[in-house]
Structure 1
Amino acid sequence: MFRPSTVRTALLLARQTPVRVARHSVRHESNAVKVQRVRFQQQVFTKRRLLSALIYSSAFLTFWHFVLPAIDDEDEAEDEHYHEEGGEELEPIFIPLGITKARPRTFYKGSDPEWQEFRKIAPDQAKHAKMRDQLVSTVRMAVANDPRFKARMGDINVTLGAHWLDIIFPDGPPIEYERAGIEISDDRISWATRPVTQLNYHRLNRALYPTAVFSSIYASTKYLFNEHTRQVKQYFGLPTTSDQHSHRHLNTGTAGAAKTPATPPPAVAEAEAAQRTTSPETPPAPQQSTTAPSPGSNPKEKNVSIPEFTPAPPHFALHIFANTLSRAWKPAPMEPPRGTIVVSGLIEVKGTKARMTMDVSGAYDPKTNKYVLLRAAVRRIQDISQRPMGGH
Structure 2
Amino acid sequence: MPAMMRLLRSRPNIFSLASRVNRPLSNQPSQIVHVHRVNIRRKWFKPTNFIVAGCIYYMCFQIYTSSLASTISRRLEDDQTLLTEEEGEEDEGAEEEFDPFFIPLPFTTRLVPSPPYKYTDPEWQAFIKVNQDREKVRSIQSSLADLVRKTTAANSMLVQKCGSDMKVAHYWLDLQYPTRPPPTFVRRGIQIGADGIYITEEAVDTTVAMQVQRALWPDTLAVSLWRFSGELLKQNALNFASLFGYKSDKSANSDSSFQQALERLKKSTEEPDSKTPKSLSSSNTKSPHSSSTNPTSPIQKRSPGATPDPRPSEASSGSGVVPIIPDAEPEKPRGAKDMLGIRTTQEHTSGPLNTLKQTFAQTWRPIRGLPPRGAIYVTGLVEIITPRALITVDVTSWWDPKTEKLDLKTTNFRLRVLRMKTQRPEG
> What TM-score comes out, normalization by structure 1 length?
0.58
In the TM superposition, what is the alpha-carbon distance from 1:174 to its structure 2 partner?
Answer: 0.7
1:383 corresponding residue in structure 2: 420
Q: Which shows bigger deviation, 180-189 or 359-368?
A: 180-189
Using a 3 Å threshold, how does the CA distance of structure 1 residues 318 and 380 change in structure 2: closer, same or farther? farther
2:233 corresponding residue in structure 1: 225
The answer to whether structure 1 residue 213 and structure 2 residue 250 are counterparts is no
Distance (whole Å) between structure 2 residues aligned to residue 153 and residue 75 of structure 1:
76
Native 8 Å contact 1:110 1:116 kept in 2: yes
Distance (whole Å) between structure 2 residues aligned to residue 208 and residue 125 of structure 1:
46
In the TM superposition, what is the alpha-carbon distance from 1:132 to its structure 2 partner?
Answer: 0.3
Q: Radius of gyration: which is bigger?
A: 1
Using a 3 Å threshold, how does the CA distance of structure 1 residues 216 and 280 change in structure 2: closer, same or farther? closer
Distance (whole Å) between structure 2 residues aligned to residue 218 and residue 192 of structure 1:
40
2:361 corresponding residue in structure 1: 326
Native 8 Å contact 1:233 1:240 kept in 2: no
After TM superposition, the structure 1 = structure 2 runs for residues 10-159 of structure 1, keeping only pairs within 5 Å, are 73-77=86-90, 92-157=101-166, 159=167
After TM superposition, the structure 1 = structure 2 runs for residues 269-308 of structure 1, keeping only pairs within 5 Å, are none
Which of 156, 174, 179 matches 2:182? 174
Distance (whole Å) between structure 2 residues aligned to residue 72 and residue 235 of structure 1:
96
Paired amino acid for 1:120: K
The answer to whether structure 1 residue 363 and structure 2 residue 398 are counterparts is yes
Native 8 Å contact 2:100 2:194 kept in 1: no
In the TM superposition, what is the alpha-carbon distance from 1:188 to its structure 2 partner?
Answer: 4.2
> What TM-score comes out, normalization by structure 2 length?
0.54
Over aligned residues, Cα RMSD in angstroms? Answer: 3.8
Paired amino acid for 1:384: K
The alignment-based identity, stated in percent, is: 27
Q: Which shows bigger deviation, 71-80 or 330-339?
A: 71-80
Q: Which shows bigger deviation, 372-381 or 207-216?
A: 372-381
In the TM superposition, what is the alpha-carbon distance from 1:133 to its structure 2 partner?
Answer: 0.4
Using a 3 Å threshold, how does the CA distance of structure 1 residues 79 and 136 change in structure 2: closer, same or farther? farther
Distance (whole Å) between structure 2 residues aligned to residue 313 and residue 353 of structure 1:
44
Paired amino acid for 1:182: I
2:385 corresponding residue in structure 1: 350
Paired amino acid for 1:362: S
- Cα deviation, 1:338-374, whole Å, max 9, x if unaligned, reads 2111110011223344332211111111232111242
Aligned residues between the structures: 269
Native 8 Å contact 2:100 2:191 kept in 1: no
Native 8 Å contact 1:199 1:334 kept in 2: yes
Helix, strand or coil: the match of 1:115?
A: helix
Native 8 Å contact 1:98 1:181 kept in 2: no
Helix, strand or coil: the match of 1:233?
A: helix
2:26 corresponding residue in structure 1: none
Distance (whole Å) between structure 2 residues aligned to residue 147 and residue 340 of structure 1:
32
Distance (whole Å) between structure 2 residues aligned to residue 349 and residue 320 of structure 1:
34
Gaps of 5+ in 2: 1-79, 258-281, 285-293, 295-340
In the TM superposition, what is the alpha-carbon distance from 1:246 to its structure 2 partner?
Answer: 7.6
